[in-house]
Structure 1
Amino acid sequence: MPYWPNYSEISPDCRATYLDWLAGGRKDAWFDAGYMFLYFYGLERRFFVDQSQDDAKDIVQEVRRLQSLYPDSHSVRRYLGEFLDIANLVEVEFDAIEPIFEKQGWELPFSLKYAIGARIYRGENLTAEWLLSWFICHPETYLRTPATRCRDEFIALFRIRFDQRFPDGLKVAKPRKTLKVSYRAASSEFEGSANPTVEGKPVPDISGLRKPVEIAQELADEAMSDLDKLSRFLGRNPDGRGSVEAYALLPSVLWQSFPSEEMDSLRSWASTIVDQGGLVPLEDVIGRLEGERSEKIGKRQMTGAADALARLGFGLAPDPRFALRSPKAEEPVVLFSLGEPIEKLEEVSDSYRSALIELALGSFVAHADGRIAEPERRALEDQVSAASLSDQERRRLRANLEWFLAVPPDMTLLRRKLKEVGQDSQAAMRAALVGAAHADGIIHSDEVASIEKIYKALGLDPALAYSDLHAGEVSDGPRTVRASQPGRPGEAIPDPEKASGPKLDASRIAAIRSDTERVSSVLGQIFDVEEEESGGSALASPSQLAGLDPKHGALVLEVIVREHWSETEFETICIAHGLMASGALEVVNEWAFETYDEALLDEYDGYDVSSDIAEAVKEKMNTEGRDVEVETT
């Protein structure tokens, strides 16, 4: 049976098969769809050319039945869908037309244009459903992963955002252009056109209107951004829908629309932990959220846990986004009250970041001799009280202090890692410690002793402490009181003993201390034990692509050497880079949208690679003198 069947041209065997299909009730989907199309050609001619009013509704119902027989056929969906889009108006009253929430082609569906245009003509304000339908079906719009992966949540959130902004609905100005409809038969044997009306008047054509679509784009972007965290969680955990953590990552305005009894239990459990002092093993927190305990817990899991608890008004310290080191699964973390639910924990002030680093270093100094004296504890608490922070940030800082004091660092491991990172990072570590000591503008003798203590604990020369603390302010050598005069010969005064190791200067200390992000990065390499325990290098190799971590950057460079990858091949590549295919797909496509305004990988019988992005990346790498190896077959 050819793709474009014609009864007069098909073979006798095919004609016999067609007659068998008709005699069998036209309902056996095992027959090639071409036989169904032969039958459909007659129905569309009867409807549009003969314009039989007596059986018009019966024809619509029959075509709808035929379409259901071949749900996986693109041709059936397209041609029968185009017929029904127009013909449905015969069977359905104007007010009964339903919004469409699935893109159906390269044009707005006729029924959608008719339904919205008629409402505009009658002076009705558009509801959220009709604006969203217009947006989704518009040929120039695109939905990011959160809208497709969390479809029901996206639609519900769009409605809420719309109602908040347009409580009385959206008023749309009536366009001058009127709606015309044309139909090209699936058989290619005829074409037709019509001018639909409402209440006897032409229907306005919404096809050229831009402002409503732009408004819808703004609302959709807000909704998709609010669903980003839930979407990423489901990308990493495809079976996680319905879990406590997934629910907690919902925007709070959706909780009533998607109720969960388990959330009340989680809230009660967290409240009990806080009342008991807040300390709880990390593995208990993850187990409570994910439904199972994990022997090894990564930063991504901790981040998800912190975000989930924050939606309930509880904080988790340390927050892996800002922590210098991560706790082990069996180590305690601190649960505390945030005072109110928070949806974006990552948004903090620079003052908070700086205060957290200085507090971490201060507690590190306090732990250097294996015990924390009461004056040291009070000094750290005073540091929290003195910081210029919001009430919520102060709560978070105080909880982090509790964790710093409760979970001492492994000094032996830190000493070994400090030796591995090289002199530049050692100097940055020293500068950060000195910067913390300079925080109040005064250097006390006990601070000198503390820095000496920590230098010694880390295997550094304690004599460096004095010169570091007074870099640029106090000379390390003797001061000249008066010019020397020749005297009687005698034994020469030896030069003062110099500390071993490079010296710091005041400008370098100030620069490093002011660069909070760099300090966090350097100290994170030294303090964090996660890579050490997993056998990785102490220093991660930088990504070759801005905006991506090293693993995802390497993945992109590998996939762009070909135009297409099968699902199995892509999964194999992801595994080789230590990534999950679903999560990696989302990360690289979101990066591609932010960088190039289109997806890098398009899911179609595997994954098609955007040639434009591939060429752009290759050109960028070549410009930087780093060629991308092209795969040969």
Structure 2
Amino acid sequence: MIFGGDVGLITLIVFCIVLYYFLKFSNQKKLSKKHAPIRVATKVDNTDSLNSFNEVKSKQENLTGASLVSQQAMYSEKIETNNRKDIIELQNPSRDLMQSFKDDQDENLVTFTISVGTSEKKSSNVSLGQWIKQGESVRVKEFESNKGFFYFGGKLQAYKASTYYNSDETEASLVDESLRFEKRDQFYTDSTLSYWPKYIELSPSARGAYLNWLLGERSDPETPIGYVFIYFYGLERRILIDSTEHGIVDDNEFIAIFDELNRLRQIFEEHYAFYNYSTRLIEMMVYLRPHVLKVEYSDISTRYDSLLFKYYLAKQVQAEQPITSELALLWIQSTDEYSLRTPARRCAEEFAILFSELYLKETKGGLVVKPNKTKLKLEYYPASGTLRGFQLGTIDLPDPSKLKAPIKKLAYIADQCTDALEQYSRYLGRKGTNKEDIEAILLLPNNLKNINKNKLLNEFKVWANEKIDKHTGLVFFSELWNFTGKSLPEKLNKKETDLLENFLSLGNYSYTPDHRVHKIKPSINGYIVLTHGSINRDHQISSAFNRILLFIRLAVIIAKSDDKLHEKEQELVHKIIDEDEHLTINEKSSLKAYFLWSMHTPTNTVGLKQQIEVMDETSTANFRKMLIQMTLADGTVEASEIKQLEKLYTMLGIDKSCVLSDLHQYGSQKKSDRDVKLVSIPTSSFIIDESILAQHEAETKEVQALLGSIFTEENIIDEQIEPTLSSPVLSVTLDKQHNELFKILISKEKWLREEIESICAKFDLLVDGALETINDWAYEVVDAPVFEDDGDIFVDQEIVSELKGE
């Protein structure tokens, strides 16, 4: 049973619910009403004509982001404005409208407000913004300048395109003299210098800092880049809007702005974002007025969105012309279908030369690409937040930049060039190296080595020719090493010998002894012998060369045992070398150099015993006879020579007491019609008749035959070059955080900086510091960095493999 009081309560509740929804619906209906934007009627003076060039006219017609009529009203030099009172009335909302919003707030309803960004501060300055040209003088209180290139005044709206809606924002670069500022140096910053900074939203202190820079020299590279961007926004607007849509920028001013942009790029080239945005604007300027401006292909951006590259490529394809090597290089550099590896980026100049040569060779003068159906649409993304919506239209040209078939051909060529630069790049990746180092030059591909470009190599060539022609090539090792530009090493390891041999090969020189040829390395404190030409190490050294090499070594041991170098001994050795028909010209030159070096270097018997022990009895007997002939070569036998023979006999396994009898026997058995008389042997020495020497010289060929029979099978033991230590004690190790970061980053070859910032934040690390720490560790381990910061972060996967020990 329902009582009367209950019925009244229920009725009241229902009434309240109905009233609530009625009021809510009414409020929503009010808020849903859209007030049409208020526009100021203006009269535009179109007396100034645009450039008459057809190409420029066509490009300007393609600028689809035409500004509203009200946009043109902002330029005092081109318009007649309405009465100021009318403008103020139109721009202020009505009292009734304001009251309706107040009434809504008074209702006890929940109100949700959705806003885009923060509302902009409004200036009381109603003077129209105008462009200050270079040379015009402007004064803002105590600041005065005539450098120009900025907008000045109180009213200049953000750019409005028909395809993009903007609120009534103020142009970001507009310098409003009515806004308060505090005098500060140009390095001051605070939170108001945001990502898309605007002069009107800067704090008074930040405005003072900006004015200090803007009305000063504008040349300090330490200036906060946010201030530079505010200035850049004005230049950007002048080119994109005033130049194209309003036609109020003549060629002289256009060129002056172009020069100013290039000046800024040189000062702030370390700022990646500014460099990219300024490059894009420069490309746009060249595209808009090609009759006024030109840039080299090397100055065109290699980013995937380079509008100038796409435009030039499209024109060549449309004309069905072969793609030039310069455009082909830009294509492979800018495409997102292929990533240049570390050598191509680190050695960009060398890569460009190699690529151009190989491209023209592989394509027989250049690729010819058939025009495709996709039309070219050039896109420009302004740096300024108050130029959003600006667009370039579609052009009646093909867009071949995304075609995959040509890119595959270019990628194949790029890979070959990259491989050729691998060692050179690895060297330059080490700390303290540069392209002028001899080691760097030696690692270049042959077609990039140019002796005439290196002063040190030229000086060496003059010096070496004089030493060879006038001094038989005999020089101290230290003299030669000085030309490498490096300090004299403590030991001569493989690294040093390879450097020296490669250095000499640039001028087609060689040195003796070469450990790979003569089985011995030179002494750092001793002599070497320079010669023209060299033995081709790609072919096996002849057995005749090795026989004479050992003969020379033994001959020098015997010849130097009496501390004298006789002319007859030299003649005998040279004759044996010259008359051997199995030796090449370079081998003969090398053996004579080895003999000269041996005569000026202390002798030793290292390795001789092992070579002699492998001979059979017949070879030993022949070798025994050869030693006697060499002892008799100078016609005099000293006691010291006999003692040396006894040592060699012992190596041969022959009783050393046989030395004297062999000398007597061989000296007497070769009698001709004339008698050969031996003088009785005193305890100190004995003399053999001069005719014996002549007799032995005539038997040179017999000595060669003996040598040939001794060494029918080669078993020369190489001297080992001391290896360079490859595993130093590490002074830098990775902690847990950096090690985990390293493992993540090596998972792919390229990272955007924003991606790495996000990853580093998880480890509480700063990007630059983290990358530097890991690179320092990589230097310690493999003497090369693993990361390369080029705006984006590139990972050298070959270094990664080395770090992993693969």
Shorter-chain TM-score category?
Answer: 0.5 to 0.7
Q: Tell me: CA distance 1:147–1:313, structure 2 relative to 1, closer, same or farther (3 Å).
A: farther
Q: Tell me: CA distance 1:450–1:152, structure 2 relative to 1, closer, same or farther (3 Å).
A: farther
Q: Secondary structure at the match of 1:334?
A: strand
Q: Tell me: CA distance 1:30–1:401, structure 2 relative to 1, closer, same or farther (3 Å).
A: closer
Instruction: State how 1:285-304 maps to structure 2 within 5 Å.
Output: 285-287=480-482, 289-290=483-484, 294=488, 298=492, 300-304=495-499
Q: Tell me: CA distance 1:20–1:235, structure 2 relative to 1, closer, same or farther (3 Å).
A: closer
Partner of 1:445: 621
Partner of 1:602: 787
Q: Tell me: CA distance 1:431–1:513, structure 2 relative to 1, closer, same or farther (3 Å).
A: farther
Structure 1 residue 89: Cα displacement: 1.0
Q: How many residues align?
A: 492
Indicate yes or no: 2:599 matched with 1:406. Answer: yes
TM-score by structure 2 length?
Answer: 0.47
CA distance in 2: counterparts of 1:433 and 1:94, whole angstroms: 83
Instruction: State how 1:568-587 maps to structure 2 within 5 Å.
Output: none
CA distance in 2: counterparts of 1:620 and 1:265, whole angstroms: 40
Partner of 1:38: 230
Residues 265 and 275 in structure 2, CA contact (< 8 A), matched pair in contact too: yes
> Which residue identity does 2:320 align to in structure 1?
G
Q: Secondary structure at the match of 1:78?
A: helix
Instruction: State how 1:80-119 maps to structure 2 within 5 Å.
Output: 80-93=278-291, 96-100=294-298, 104-105=302-303, 107=304, 109-119=306-316
Q: Tell me: CA distance 1:161–1:171, structure 2 relative to 1, closer, same or farther (3 Å).
A: closer
What are the Cα deviations for residues 354-401 of structure 1, in whole angstroms up to 9, with x where unaligned?
Answer: 7776665555555566749789947973897536xx655x35643564
CA distance in 2: counterparts of 1:124 and 1:242, whole angstroms: 41
The equivalent position to 2:540 in structure 1, one of 319, 333, 351, is 351
Residues 318 and 371 in structure 2, CA contact (< 8 A), matched pair in contact too: no
Partner of 1:524: 720
Q: Tell me: CA distance 1:295–1:464, structure 2 relative to 1, closer, same or farther (3 Å).
A: same
Q: Secondary structure at the match of 2:277?
A: helix
Instruction: State how 1:373-384 maps to structure 2 within 5 Å.
Output: 377=573, 381=577
Partner of 2:196: 5
Residues 110 and 181 in structure 1, CA contact (< 8 A), matched pair in contact too: yes
Q: Secondary structure at the match of 1:179?
A: strand
CA distance in 1: counterparts of 2:804 and 2:451, whole angstroms: 50
Residues 131 and 212 in structure 1, CA contact (< 8 A), matched pair in contact too: no
Q: Tell me: CA distance 1:318–1:71, structure 2 relative to 1, closer, same or farther (3 Å).
A: same
The equivalent position to 1:325 in structure 2, one of 504, 520, 539, is 520
> Which residue identity does 1:184 align to in structure 2?
Y
Partner of 1:313: 508
Instruction: State how 1:621-632 maps to structure 2 within 5 Å.
Output: none
Partner of 1:279: 474
> Which residue identity does 1:109 align to in structure 2?
S
The equivalent position to 2:247 in structure 1, one of 36, 54, 57, is 54
Partner of 1:550: 725
Q: Tell me: CA distance 1:336–1:237, structure 2 relative to 1, closer, same or farther (3 Å).
A: farther
Residues 113 and 205 in structure 1, CA contact (< 8 A), matched pair in contact too: yes
Indicate yes or no: 2:392 matched with 1:201. Answer: no
Instruction: State how 1:134-533 maps to structure 2 within 5 Å.
Output: 134-137=331-334, 140-142=338-340, 148=346, 169-174=365-370, 176=372, 177-187=374-384, 190-191=388-389, 193-194=391-392, 197=395, 200-205=396-401, 208=404, 209-214=406-411, 216-217=413-414, 220-221=417-418, 224=421, 228=424, 241=436, 251=446, 255=450, 258=453, 263=458, 266-267=461-462, 269-270=464-465, 273-274=468-469, 276-287=471-482, 289-290=483-484, 294=488, 298=492, 300-319=495-514, 322=517, 324-338=519-533, 348-352=537-541, 363-366=552-555, 371=560, 377=573, 381=577, 385-386=581-582, 392=586, 394=587, 397-398=590-591, 401-402=594-595, 405-406=598-599, 408=601, 411=604, 414=606, 443-447=619-623, 519-520=717-718, 523-524=719-720
Q: Tell me: CA distance 1:612–1:252, structure 2 relative to 1, closer, same or farther (3 Å).
A: closer
Structure 1 residue 4: Cα displacement: 0.6
Q: Secondary structure at the match of 2:540?
A: helix
Residues 101 and 132 in structure 1, CA contact (< 8 A), matched pair in contact too: no
Structure 1 residue 463: Cα displacement: 5.4
Q: Tell me: CA distance 1:178–1:99, structure 2 relative to 1, closer, same or farther (3 Å).
A: same
CA distance in 1: counterparts of 2:415 and 2:613, whole angstroms: 47
Q: Secondary structure at the match of 1:205?
A: helix
Q: Tell me: CA distance 1:103–1:258, structure 2 relative to 1, closer, same or farther (3 Å).
A: farther
Runs (5+) with no aligned partner, structure 2: 1-189, 562-568, 628-642, 656-710, 743-768
CA distance in 2: counterparts of 1:570 and 1:205, whole angstroms: 35
Residues 578 and 588 in structure 2, CA contact (< 8 A), matched pair in contact too: no
CA distance in 2: counterparts of 1:558 and 1:433, whole angstroms: 51
Q: Tell me: CA distance 1:236–1:327, structure 2 relative to 1, closer, same or farther (3 Å).
A: farther
CA distance in 2: counterparts of 1:616 and 1:72, whole angstroms: 31
> Which residue identity does 1:13 align to in structure 2?
S
Q: Tell me: CA distance 1:432–1:376, structure 2 relative to 1, closer, same or farther (3 Å).
A: farther
Q: Secondary structure at the match of 2:787?
A: strand
CA distance in 1: counterparts of 2:371 and 2:414, whole angstroms: 20
> Which residue identity does 1:179 align to in structure 2?
L
Structure 1 residue 52: Cα displacement: 2.5
CA distance in 2: counterparts of 1:153 and 1:282, whole angstroms: 33
What are the Cα deviations for residues 579-631 of structure 1, in whole angstroms up to 9, with x where unaligned?
Answer: xx8xx99x744xxxxxxxxxx533559xx99697788567658xxxxxxxxxx
CA distance in 1: counterparts of 2:489 and 2:557, whole angstroms: 29
Structure 1 residue 110: Cα displacement: 2.8
Structure 1 residue 336: Cα displacement: 1.9
Q: Secondary structure at the match of 1:327?
A: coil
Q: Secondary structure at the match of 2:511?
A: strand
CA distance in 2: counterparts of 1:278 and 1:454, whole angstroms: 30
Q: Secondary structure at the match of 1:335?
A: strand
CA distance in 2: counterparts of 1:221 and 1:66, whole angstroms: 33
> Which residue identity does 1:4 align to in structure 2?
Y
Q: Tell me: CA distance 1:22–1:85, structure 2 relative to 1, closer, same or farther (3 Å).
A: same
CA distance in 1: counterparts of 2:620 and 2:215, whole angstroms: 100
Q: Tell me: CA distance 1:273–1:378, structure 2 relative to 1, closer, same or farther (3 Å).
A: closer
Indicate yes or no: 2:263 matched with 1:74. Answer: no
Please tell me the root mean square deviation across aligned C-alpha atoms, in Å: 5.8
Residues 128 and 163 in structure 1, CA contact (< 8 A), matched pair in contact too: yes
Q: Secondary structure at the match of 1:111?
A: helix
Q: Secondary structure at the match of 1:316?
A: strand
Q: Tell me: CA distance 1:73–1:14, structure 2 relative to 1, closer, same or farther (3 Å).
A: same
What are the Cα deviations for residues 222-248 of structure 1, in whole angstroms up to 9, with x where unaligned?
Answer: 8637x949x959979858939899699
Structure 1 residue 115: Cα displacement: 2.0
